[in-house]
Amino acid sequence: MATMTVSLPDPMKDWIEAQIRRGDYASVSDYVRDLVRRDRDRREQELTLDELRKKLAASRASGVSSRTVDEIFAEAQEIAKERGLTHE
């Protein structure tokens, strides 16, 4: 496994150490690995501009939904929960 040295301002260092003391992480390395993993996962889910344009075109072509705003919002919340994007 590779080793890296990172310089951080004291408040960031204190934050990481607090997360370890809380038991959220076993070490600084665990914390950093989790951050990198989450960032990589988030970026993999991002759409390119071309993908976004295609989705927009498809949505316009599909017409107006018969679902209510509440139904659509509930579905969006469920999807976010399944993807681990909520702070519950």
How wide is the angle at C-alpha 84 spanned by C-alphas 42 and 34, nearest 5°? 60
Residue-level pLDDT, tens digit, the chain, 88 residues: 899 999 999 999 999 999 999 999 999 999 999 999 999 998 888 888 889 899 999 999 998 889 999 999 999 999 999 988 887 6
- Cα distance between residue 77 and residue 27, in whole Å: 32
Instruction: Domain ranges for the chain, please list them.
Output: 10-46, 47-83
Return the closest-CA partner of residue 28 out of 13, 38, 40.
13
The model's pTM is 0.55
- Phi-psi label, residue 3: left if phi above 0, alpha if psi -120 to 50, beta otherwise: beta
Which structure tokens are listed for 26? Answer: 């076993």
